[in-house]
Amino acid sequence: MLDGGLATEMEARGADLDHFLWSARMLTERPELIRGVHFDYLAAGADILATATYQASFAGFERAGFERGQGEQLMRLSVGLAVAAREAFWAESAARQGRLRPLVAASVGPYGACLHDGSEYHGNYAVGRQALRDFHRQRLDVLADTAADLFAFETIPSQREAEVLIDLLADYPHHHAWLSFSCRDGEHVSHGERFAECAALADASPQIVAVGVNCTAPQFIDDLLDAVAGLATPRVVYPNSGEHWVAHENRWAGDRCAGLDAGDWYRRGARLIGGCCRTGPDDIRRMRADLQEMLE
């Protein structure tokens, strides 16, 4: 089990994330809140925590008034908070019953996330491959030198950005990652390429341990999983609540889905399952219980 939404869960607990740093803002203001949400996801049944680095970038921290060294320290802090939550949880003997020792995934969001304009949901960046490569390398250099167990390349909107990340990952031969795309429907990633063709990139990289989809409406997940049924790489799925992000209004809109059908996704081949934006610990607890009941 993966965790659920980090930023939106912090908002539900009173955090003001109306800021270009989004969840990374809490690294500078309320780190204890991040650790608390991490711990609650573990208590709800999550086996993997994603760090608060999705929208973290050196350019963003600089814009907020932090020097490069301070930005690096904040990225390292994000991993440290997740590790601290994991160790506190694992220190409780009752918590370890029937559980895997949780992992920490360093979240690596797309280039568009740092723009804070919703472009991770369309991928129409006005930059070339080299700019994408330089942007991601800066963060990977830091996150690779932390206690994170793997990378989470997530909400990737295009084949081009996925290719850049996979190519970069080869420069960190002792590290692994999952690769997860944002999708516009049951067939295409957000930028428009076919999801099946984008996901197939994972089979060519021994460092990609899972490939799939996140922050996408649950109604599209069945078709997306069916489209990649023939891949050798395990599948990862963590959709949002069914609502969609309205970037120019800085808000979520639409209706929540009736439920997250983890059992159906498992039957269709998903092996890492969780939630993304607007999902919380209760969703993870419910999905874990449904899966356990189905598998017993």
Mean pLDDT by 10 residues, the chain (296 residues): 94 86 88 97 98 93 94 97 98 93 97 84 90 97 98 97 98 98 96 98 98 95 97 97 57 63 96 94 96 92
Is residue 220 within 8 A of residue 183, CB to CB? The reply is yes
pLDDT of residue 246: 53
Rounded Cα gap, residues 152 and 141, in angstroms:
14
Determine the Cα angle at 238 with ends 179 and 8, to 5°: 110
**Based on the structure, what is the number of domains in the chain?**
1
Does some domain include residue 1? Answer: no
The closest of 251, 258, 259, 221 to 239, measured between CA atoms, is: 221
Does some domain include residue 165? Answer: yes
pLDDT of residue 252: 56
Is residue 228 within 8 A of residue 211, CB to CB? The reply is yes
pLDDT of residue 88: 98
Q: With H, G, I as helix, E, B as strand and everything else as coil, classify residue 20.
A: coil
CB atoms within 10 A of CB 144: 15
pLDDT of residue 253: 58
Rounded Cα gap, residues 235 and 241, in angstroms:
19
Does some domain include residue 12? Answer: yes
The closest of 35, 37, 31, 29 to 4, measured between CA atoms, is: 37
CB atoms within 10 A of CB 58: 20
pLDDT of residue 248: 55
Looking up tokens 């076919």, which residue turns up? 194
pLDDT of residue 148: 98
The domain that holds 208 is classified in CATH as: 3.20.20.330
Helices (H), 101-251: 111-115, 129-143, 159-169, 195-199, 221-227
Q: Which domain holds residue 213?
A: 7-295
Phi-psi region of 236 (alpha: psi -120 to 50; beta: other; left: phi over 0): beta
The closest of 195, 245, 182 to 223, measured between CA atoms, is: 195
pTM as predicted: 0.94
Classify residue 18 by burial, with Cβ atoms within 10 Å: 0-12, 13-18, 19+.
exposed
Does some domain include residue 281? Answer: yes
Q: Specify the amino acid at residue 52.
A: A
Does some domain include residue 47? Answer: yes
pLDDT of residue 132: 96
Phi-psi region of 98 (alpha: psi -120 to 50; beta: other; left: phi over 0): left
Does some domain include residue 215? Answer: yes
Does some domain include residue 191? Answer: yes
The two tokens of residue 72 are 């690096």
pLDDT of residue 19: 77
CB atoms within 10 A of CB 45: 19
pLDDT of residue 150: 98
Does some domain include residue 2? Answer: no
In whole angstroms, what separates CA 211 from the centre of its chain?
12
